[in-house]
């Protein structure tokens, strides 16, 4: 499966210096800038495509796991 929106999202991301630490700034990993719904859909589709399915719970660690987990939940019911 090809993920053109996700690829562009990462290729256009910025790197910020945080006291000598290079911080990769990306909507999928930290929500800055805002998360484009089309990219979020592509991420959810990609995760669903490689999952084994049949689960009854989605665990979404960290803050950005919440929108990804919600998108997966909405798509899978």
At residue 25, the pLDDT reads: 84
Mean pLDDT, the chain, integer: 86
Q: Where are the domains of the chain?
A: 4-76
* pLDDT recorded at residue 63: 75
pLDDT in tens, 2-39: 899 988 888 888 888 989 998 888 888 776 767 889 99
Q: How far is it between the farthest Cα atoms of the chain?
A: 44
Confidence of residue 46 (pLDDT cuts 50, 70, 90): very high
Among 68, 13, 15, smallest CA distance to 41 is for: 68
What 8-state DSSP symbol labels residue 63?
T
**No. of H helices and E strands in the chain?**
4, 2
């Amino acid at each position: 499966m090809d993920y053109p929106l996700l690829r562009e999202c990462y290729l256009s991301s910025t790197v910020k210096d945080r006291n000598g630490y290079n911080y990769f700034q990306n909507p999928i990993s930290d929500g800055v800038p805002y998360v484009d719904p089309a990219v979020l859909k592509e991420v959810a589709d990609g995760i669903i495509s490689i999952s084994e399915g049949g689960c009854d719970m989605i665990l979404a660690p960290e803050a950005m796991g919440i929108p990804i987990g919600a998108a997966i939940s909405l798509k899978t019911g």
